[in-house]
Amino acid sequence: MRAFQKLELKGQVEVVTLCDCDENVLNERVPAYEATAGKKVNTCKDMRYIMDDESIDVVGMATPNHWHSLGAIWACQAGKDVYVEKPGSHNVFEGRKLMEAAHKYGRIVQHGTQNRSSPNIMEGIKKLKEGVIGRVYIARGIAYKKRQGLQEINFTPVPKGLNWDMWQGPAQYSEYSKERHRGWHLIFDYGNGDLGNQGVHELDIIRWGLDLKRHPNKIASIGGVYVDHGAQEYPQVHSTMYQWEGRDVMVSFETRSGYTNAEGGMGKEFIFLDKRNAVGVIFVGTDGYMIIPDYSSYYTFLGKKAEPGPSAEAGGLESKLAVPRDPGPSAVGEGNISDDPHFESFIKAVRSRDESDLRAGPDELHYSSTLAHLANISYRTGRMIHFDPETEKCIGDEDANELLTRNYREPFVVPDKV
């Protein structure tokens, strides 16, 4: 909402409708928007009204993960372009279907992996591909973020103003609980854990930097709820390794939700935007290494003495740390430093009808989101996944194949034929 309103204030778009199945959210966000915009805005509680409104050209999907693909597919089928938050899918099957829908209906779909639009990270990836650190043989992503664990689930009456049936959408129906509603990232039915929440950003950078256009063929993942024992289903500590056939590179990713050390300088010399987390990517090459510790910077260290090489940071470190991660209920705020160019490239593509104007189109959405899904499948089955990149099936593992999709609930079904 903040990003689209900033574009509206520049005369590039017109925001006409805000939709949420929770009136409490609308009651908070709509006044904030209208106070800044100086105009009234339409509202609705069911996104299907948005899809039926022929005057609307573009839909922004900022729902929980389990709604991302279905809502975006509905928008494509309705002839609308879509900005969809990360991860663009809740499972492998629906990511493929969203990609197919975007191409079938000729729609512009941008994925919310904003690093692709950060000028400094774009520069860093260019230098990486030019060989600034030699041949890359290790790529490692980390997401060490202090997270509150999910406590015991208590079922209570549905809060007034919330359409709980609509909120659950494609998921099987469950009685209401605040823990499931507010802690959805940590529940299999709705979220994808921290790997799909934060990790998809770093996994996308790794794919981008190494030109990984295909799915991996081997995925091994292990972890557990080791920090705050409670009701969450996704792990708090989670380590994954990926292998791509024909590529001499080791790719790994790790999440931690408790207190932790720094790694590669991240969380110490190079601090993530909220000043307390260690999040980013480390590329290790034959001539040195590169770190990308946030949404706006990269640093290289070369040779035996790890001497500083090419680098860039937006506005200097102190300026960067002053950017608030969440400005609160005000409609317009700074947001992440790469937000503005990412949304601008999306609207440029909407106008040009040229997918090459996108920084993170539907194909990138599917392949980057799938990395999180495959790691979670390996974790849930407790074994290495052997994956066929062409058929998008797990080889000789029916338990794993069942987790490539979900049991959808009518009428919220992602169809096989979009």
Q: If you average pLDDT over residues 11-32, what whole number do you get? A: 96
Q: Which domains does the chain have, with CATH numbers?
A: 2-114 (3.40.50.720), 120-331+362-400 (3.30.360.10)
Note the pLDDT of residue 16: 96
Note the pLDDT of residue 271: 80
**pLDDT tier at 339, thresholds 50, 70, 90:** confident
| Residue 283 backbone phi and psi in degrees, to 5 | -105, 125
- pLDDT, one tens digit per residue, over 71-114 is 999 999 999 999 999 999 999 999 999 999 999 999 999 999 99
Encoding tokens for residue 350? 């909407």
Note the pLDDT of residue 336: 60
Give me the chain's average pLDDT, please.
93
Encoding tokens for residue 35? 């106070």
Q: Comparing 147 with 206, which gets the higher pLDDT? A: 206
Q: If you average pLDDT over residues 240-259, what whole number do you get? A: 96
- List Cβ neighbours of 31 (8 Å cut-off, separation of 6 or more): none
Note the pLDDT of residue 229: 87
Q: Is it the case that residue 257 has pLDDT exceeding 70?
A: yes
Note the pLDDT of residue 315: 54
Contact (Cβ atoms closer than 8 angstroms) between residue 49 and residue 394: no
Q: Is it the case that residue 325 has pLDDT exceeding 50?
A: no
- pLDDT, one tens digit per residue, over 356-397 is 999 999 999 999 999 999 999 999 999 999 999 999 999 999
Q: What is the DSSP string of 35-66?
A: HHHTS--EEES-HHHHHH-TT--EEEE-S-HH
Conformation bin of residue 134: beta by default, left when phi > 0, alpha when psi is -120 to 50: left
Q: Is it the case that residue 320 has pLDDT exceeding 70?
A: no
